[in-house]
Structure 1
């Protein structure tokens, strides 16, 4: 049996505080019998200043947050889908928005770089992720073995990817999609649940999401409503 914990957070600019909260949620998930914990998008850092994100971005497979997530997975014997975090690229001014998955032995099982980058402009809000992030180019899935000998095929997507059904349809045989997110309050109120349900219905798959929620100390407001469909 696969039991997934969705770890909802309200991340801010303090990476130490964010990681501490993430760790406490993962430990709680393990105590409650989950064998996979899912963190939200950008659980490590939520800031309106791109310099903060660039400064705290880690080298792939070489950074303190990655070591903490790997160590937690190994010590607790739980799979961790580490939401997303910024990883460095060859461009000093842009990073990837990356989801890393660790198995119950602390080994990396999958890496997915968010493909579709969010942009939005309203009366009081403006976002354009392409100014800071480099988009990914390939879909990613992996097998999670259960104690009964069966494998669960899991596909990965992040936040704005949810609006692109072809991304999900290109992946065949998926039993469950994991989707860390940071939907804004305005767009989440209108579209969040209906999009999650649509992707589940279209693909005959579970869709499980962990989201940023509430008003962050950076001033941005997130819809939350983490759920499994």
Structure 2
């Protein structure tokens, strides 16, 4: 099974970003991939809230979603669109950070709203308050694809292993972690956490990432990865720029690794700890 990964440098113009995504779909199809994975915020990256919200719509009016669905159908490939920022989807007025699984007919098979929101003050002086703008999702999602049962997650979710336990407990053999990691956190934690998520349950992990200096001034870490169930890095696209990468995976490796280290079979419900004083 051949997978394609799009490492993006998404800007502030959704229509231009849509064009880049369509070209990535064409490259994936030309390269023989069954499914293409794209990063978090594939349609728009803009930390100027007023300017960004002027470009945001709901699903029905989003030009990026429309373009990639048409391209997936035209080229006959599946697409995991890492996420889009969407407006008008929640009663409380907040935005959603929503990923989509789109099949080779352009049909949306699954949607996932990012559950864990990134609120943090970094030593670099950067401050992020996702929860001030976005509403979090309520439940994990898995969906069947040509590349096996896919568990959906987004960026900061990576730090919460209980989510991945739920996904693999529901039969996921491959997990998507689209992201827009900052450079400091990426350098410190990106490879370690992605390999850990793969090793814990013996799954493939596909992490399409944003990279480089963006139009809004932010910098992202890149290093889009594919990790095997044994924790081996099969693809690392580096931190220099955007592009489409390819990797061939063998789904039989999931069961082979789980046979060697049957951690899923050994899982037990964990009660509340006893506190000894």
> Into which bin does the TM-score normalised by the smaller protein fall?
over 0.9
Q: How far apart are residue 60 of structure 1 and its match?
A: 2.6
SS of alignment partner, residue 181 of structure 2: coil
The two structures, once aligned, show a CA RMSD in angstroms of: 1.4
SS of alignment partner, residue 67 of structure 2: helix
Measure, in 2, the Cα distance between the counterparts of 1:53 and 1:91: 20
1:128 alignment counterpart? 129
Q: How far apart are residue 131 of structure 1 and its match?
A: 1.1
Measure, in 1, the Cα distance between the counterparts of 2:52 and 2:109: 25
Measure, in 1, the Cα distance between the counterparts of 2:46 and 2:109: 28
The number of equivalent residue pairs is: 223
SS of alignment partner, residue 178 of structure 2: strand
2:142 is aligned with 1:141: yes
Q: For 1:86-128, what per-residue CA distance to the aligned partner results, in whole angstroms no more than 9, with x for missing partners? A: 1223457521000011100111111000000112212421111
1:100 alignment counterpart? 100
Residues 56 and 86, structure 1, Cα contact 8 Å, conserved in 2: no
SS of alignment partner, residue 53 of structure 2: helix
Structure ID, larger Rg: 2
Measure, in 2, the Cα distance between the counterparts of 1:202 and 1:125: 32
1:216 to 214, 217, 223: 214
Deviates more, 1:57-66 or 1:27-36: 57-66
SS of alignment partner, residue 40 of structure 1: coil
1:149 alignment counterpart? none
1:165 alignment counterpart? 161
Residues 14 and 64, structure 2, Cα contact 8 Å, conserved in 1: no
Measure, in 2, the Cα distance between the counterparts of 1:64 and 1:12: 15
Q: For 1:137-191, what per-residue CA distance to the aligned partner results, in whole angstroms no more than 9, with x for missing partners? A: 1101111147xxxxx1111000000000000001222110011100000100000
1:183 alignment counterpart? 181
> When you count strand as a share of all residues, which structure comes out higher?
1
Residues 18 and 63, structure 2, Cα contact 8 Å, conserved in 1: no
Measure, in 1, the Cα distance between the counterparts of 2:50 and 2:90: 16
2:109 alignment counterpart? 109
Measure, in 1, the Cα distance between the counterparts of 2:116 and 2:201: 19
Measure, in 1, the Cα distance between the counterparts of 2:200 and 2:54: 40
Q: For 1:21-61, what per-residue CA distance to the aligned partner results, in whole angstroms no more than 9, with x for missing partners? A: 11111111110011111111111111111123322222234
SS of alignment partner, residue 208 of structure 1: strand
Measure, in 2, the Cα distance between the counterparts of 1:161 and 1:92: 22
Deviation beyond 4 Å, 4+ runs, structure 1:
none
Measure, in 1, the Cα distance between the counterparts of 2:78 and 2:110: 11
Measure, in 1, the Cα distance between the counterparts of 2:177 and 2:15: 23
Measure, in 1, the Cα distance between the counterparts of 2:146 and 2:199: 24
Measure, in 1, the Cα distance between the counterparts of 2:9 and 2:133: 21
Residues 72 and 106, structure 1, Cα contact 8 Å, conserved in 2: yes
Structure 1's unaligned 5+ residue stretches are 147-151
